[in-house]
Structure 1
Amino acid sequence: MTTANSAPVTITLTTNNQTSGWQQDKTLQISNEGIAIYLEQDSQFRLRKIQMAARSIEKLGVAHAQLAGDDWDEASQWAFALGFSCVNKLESITFCGAAELVERLNNKLAVYAWSRDLTNQTPAELYPLKLAELTSNYIKNLAPAHVKTRLIQGKALQDEQWQGIYNVGKGSVNEPCLLELDFNPSNDENTPVAACLVGKGITFDSGGYSIKSSAGMFDMKCDMGGAAVVAGALALAIKQGLAQRVKLYLCCAENMISNDAYKLGDIITYKNGVTCEVANTDAEGRLVLADGLLAASETGAPLIIDAATLTGAAVLATGGDYSALFSLDPAAAAKAHNAAKASNEALWQLPLEPWHQDKCPSVFAETANSRTQKGGGAGGASNAAGFLSRFVNNEGAGWLHFDLAAAYNADATSLWAAGATGLGIATIADLISTP
């Protein structure tokens, strides 16, 4: 067997023991020919076990995995890819099978690698305008004839009434911005927008004056994970032949403390007239997403999807193993569940009703952005989704909110390396690809 800094290691998948002695019946069976992943026929949680095996193989020091044999189908190869890939090793896999299958998996792996690497970058490398620039360049390169972008930054945000992004980001030396990216394969300006994607792009979150602890702040480079996921979803859909018009909105800012920073008790008046009292400057994600949802709603798109690393409450509820889904539209939620199942991505719907809008009351404004209890109090993830629902049209018809509890791992687990996971990309790409 070869390991780091050497030739690729051949990895086979089998339902037959490849060795005898102490390795017999072990999931990983190592020989001079390579490594076999042994699973019994009809093994329960098969894909999960493959992903765990891949994580173990990577930790052996294998630099490049070459999958081989007839037992690898598309789902099992992708499960292996998710487990094996890690920082500095995001595309170190050779897939097997028909040329069309290999191309599809390589395209998917490339998008996930781009999105995960984007999320893993340091706050010094990835400030708001840089996030917008890298995203614009990447997606333009995929379809240069069909992509147009518009960037609104700094004081221009206030002039155009994108008050959430402006207020959250005004305390940083790095200007906040709103990126609008229009993928229009028809190149006809009159073509209806079929779907809008909105991503939270907080490139660093100190918590503002509701400052986080050092431990709580350490991984906050990942707070733009929602932007990376929706951008990745659009990129993947384009690679897979997306044929309808989709707009992408990234709400980009740094949440910092300075003499210009927004404060507790400030009131933000949004473009639709909703007034919001700032009860917690660390509940900033929903403040910037509100602008993105308003912009998306202006297009009249029948499908609006936002994604964000929004609440610790969603992580507590799901254990960080699932993305949390919120919707006021049962039909749209059902489509999301079907897309997640087809993509083998874990998704769990949490409660959301119209009355969740009233869960963060304010004496001085129509709503507050949170409550003053730790973590926003009970039901924090649903209350955040309720806040967002104020900024979509048609009583939430066609709107899906993904709270990305599984987007990033501070430490390695049995399934994932430390860092961004990219979970949600395939599900959202599927949703925007279906007329």
Structure 2
Amino acid sequence: MTTVSLSDRPAHDLTADAVVLATVQVDGSATLAAGHGLPRGAAAHLATSLKAHGASGAAEEVHTVAAVPGVKAGLVVLAGLGSATARTTSFEPEVLRRAAGAAIRSLKAATTVAVALPAGDVGSVAAVAEGATLGAYRYAGVRGPAAKPAVGVEKVTVVTSSARSKDAKAVAARAVVLAEAKAYARDLVNMPPNLLFPQSFADSVRTRAGSVSGKVTVTVLDEKALVKGGFGGIVGVGQGSINPPRLVTLTWAPAKAKSSVALVGKGITFDSGGLCIKPPASMLTMKSDMAGAAAVAATVFAAAELGLPVKVTGYLCLAENMPGGAAQRPSDVVTMRNGTTVEILDTDAEGRMVLGDGIALAGEAGPDAIVDIATLTGAQMVALGGRVAGIMANDDPFRDRVRAAADTSGEAAWPMPLPADLRSQLDSTVADLAHKGERWGGMLTAGLFLKEFVTEGTPWAHIDIAGPSFNEGSAWGYTPKGATGFGVATLLTLVEGYAG
């Protein structure tokens, strides 16, 4: 766990393994950002180093300089903020988050770091603290007894003139909670699928529920209870695996809750495609097909840690999609939790089936709003790429509210439509619904399918995170290679909005 404290002392005078300072790009070259407060000799030394390295000051560019005269820390990390003037003191929160994260990620042996990026106001303090703590994440992996544990940053000191402000201390504390929540989600997604399957996922949630400061209740429906409860979508997807499905419900219900929000997460712990099996190369990242459920679980725990006066219920729809002898077949018809019958067309379009059951169950409790989040369609990546999520909803103002939460938290998302003319693609001659439409507009027809399970009159939004949930490329900003924890910040910010 990485802790965060605030200090209004000069960065160069703080005892730490490393200190992070900002550079900006002026006329194509890097220069120290305004407000660094360094002694003249230290500033001159760093200016010479920047020139020698050919530094540009571009956003997320990082250079490390050792043994800077006049600076107590052994290392100075210079993080680029992008184009600005030498007098610019205000930067967008996401620019600060990424710069702080990139700087912290670059450190291989430092455990204590002072971060002195431009952070004079509370919003900037929050961004720097979030970026630094998120950048400190390290996945331990599955190692043998001889392996040395990864060294990570354990203590971050954010240098700010607002160090004595109660609001600044509060956002710093929130940053730690958010980072821990995202780390939990990342760990779940990164875990090998032979170790994380529906029951072990449920066990992990139970264990974590016992360690959070707020009381989170957990209930688990096993395969027999799922059959009895009419959860045909989850049962059907999971019936081809030796690891049977589960539906986990987590609830944070404070006594004076002002409203209630239901979060539903797709939790396919491994997706082989079922009988409609995927090509081998397409399975390499399918341990991440439960990233939506991981984000939901992490958000409920974060809401409890923060003591938010909102009832938050998370529904984790967990199954392993495998082609065993009992596996679901194309043309099967199953009955969902709300009584709707669905004709299966493609067993590799399984996520919408488990979510349909989860959304129907969530609606039975009468929440003020429902949000589902899922690595649902390859079409999302075709439309929006690997870093931007798609948001669909049955209510435009609510869709905009979810989008605003994403913008505030620094998670890129884009509103998408649910065109009524595509609904006919889900018509079936043998059931109430066909579970998949045509190839074109696949993200949208998936959203239209899910809409069928929303209780009438309940605001609902669907977030497709197929791309941004897992980073197959190089790390960037505060985002590591592998699991990203995408969605946790958006969902937490949305829930906080219901706290008034």
Normalization by structure 1: what TM-score?
0.88
Task: Check the 8 A contact 1:165/1:176 in 2, yes or no.
Answer: yes
Whether 2:152 is the aligned partner of 1:105: answer no
Structure 1, gaps ≥5 residues long: 1-6
Matches within 5 A, 1:24-173: 25-27=55-57, 28-31=62-65, 32=67, 33-39=75-81, 40-41=84-85, 42=88, 47-48=94-95, 51=98, 54-55=101-102, 58-59=105-106, 61-62=108-109, 64=111, 66-69=113-116, 71-72=118-119, 73-83=125-135, 85-88=137-140, 92=153, 94-97=155-158, 98=163, 99-143=169-213, 146-173=215-242
Q: Rate the CA distance shift 1:343–1:49 in 2: closer, same or farther, 3 A.
A: closer
Q: Rate the CA distance shift 1:52–1:213 in 2: closer, same or farther, 3 A.
A: farther
Task: Check the 8 A contact 1:91/1:113 in 2, yes or no.
Answer: no
- Aligned mates of 1:235, 1:217 — CA distance in 2: 30
Q: Deviations over 1:207-248 (max 9, x none)?
A: 001101111011111000000111112222222221122211
Q: Who is 1:237 aligned against?
A: 303
Task: Check the 8 A contact 2:237/2:321 in 1, yes or no.
Answer: yes
Deviation at 1:25, TM superposition (A): 4.5
Deviation at 1:91, TM superposition (A): 6.3
Structure 1 window deviating more from structure 2 (107-116 vs 360-369): it is 360-369
Q: Who is 2:293 aligned against?
A: 227
Task: Check the 8 A contact 1:193/1:247 in 2, yes or no.
Answer: no
SS of equivalent residue, structure 2 residue 353: helix
SS of equivalent residue, structure 1 residue 426: helix
Deviation at 1:431, TM superposition (A): 1.5
Residue type matched to 2:79 in 1? I
Task: Check the 8 A contact 1:51/1:81 in 2, yes or no.
Answer: no
Q: Deviations over 1:350-398 (max 9, x none)?
A: 1114454332332211221114xxxx50000101010000000125x41
- Aligned mates of 2:181, 2:329 — CA distance in 1: 38
Task: Check the 8 A contact 1:132/1:179 in 2, yes or no.
Answer: yes
Residue type matched to 2:47 in 1? T
Task: Check the 8 A contact 2:393/2:460 in 1, yes or no.
Answer: yes
Residue type matched to 1:200 in 2? K
Task: Check the 8 A contact 2:471/2:483 in 1, yes or no.
Answer: yes
Q: Rate the CA distance shift 1:256–1:193 in 2: closer, same or farther, 3 A.
A: farther
- Aligned mates of 2:380, 2:112 — CA distance in 1: 34
Residue type matched to 1:115 in 2? A
Say which of 353, 373, 379 aligns to 1:287: 353
Q: Who is 1:212 aligned against?
A: 278
Say which of 363, 372, 385 aligns to 2:447: 385
Q: Deviations over 1:262-310 (max 9, x none)?
A: 1111001123221111100000000000110010010111210111111
Task: Check the 8 A contact 2:136/2:152 in 1, yes or no.
Answer: no
Structure 1 window deviating more from structure 2 (41-50 vs 336-345): it is 41-50
Whether 2:18 is the aligned partner of 1:9: answer yes
Aligned sequence identity (%): 32
How many residues matched? 420
Say which of 262, 267, 275 aligns to 1:196: 262
Task: Check the 8 A contact 1:55/1:84 in 2, yes or no.
Answer: no
SS of equivalent residue, structure 1 residue 362: coil
- Aligned mates of 1:137, 1:355 — CA distance in 2: 46
Q: Rate the CA distance shift 1:330–1:50 in 2: closer, same or farther, 3 A.
A: closer
Residue type matched to 2:178 in 1? K
Deviation at 1:48, TM superposition (A): 4.4
Specify which structure has the bigger relative contact order, considering alpha-carbon pairs within 8 angstroms and separated by 6 or more residues. Answer: 1
Q: Rate the CA distance shift 1:90–1:323 in 2: closer, same or farther, 3 A.
A: farther
Residue type matched to 2:181 in 1? V
Residue type matched to 1:26 in 2? S
* Structure of higher CA gyration radius: 2
Q: Rate the CA distance shift 1:380–1:29 in 2: closer, same or farther, 3 A.
A: same
Cα RMSD over matched residues? 2.6
Q: Who is 2:459 aligned against?
A: 398
Q: Rate the CA distance shift 1:86–1:242 in 2: closer, same or farther, 3 A.
A: same
Task: Check the 8 A contact 1:278/1:369 in 2, yes or no.
Answer: yes
Deviation at 1:139, TM superposition (A): 3.0
Normalization by structure 2: what TM-score?
0.77
Structure 1 window deviating more from structure 2 (378-387 vs 359-368): it is 359-368
Q: Who is 2:11 aligned against?
A: none
- Aligned mates of 1:356, 1:348 — CA distance in 2: 20
- Aligned mates of 2:91, 2:171 — CA distance in 1: 25
Deviation at 1:69, TM superposition (A): 2.5
- Aligned mates of 1:192, 1:268 — CA distance in 2: 38
Residue type matched to 1:418 in 2? K
Structure 1 window deviating more from structure 2 (209-218 vs 152-161): it is 152-161
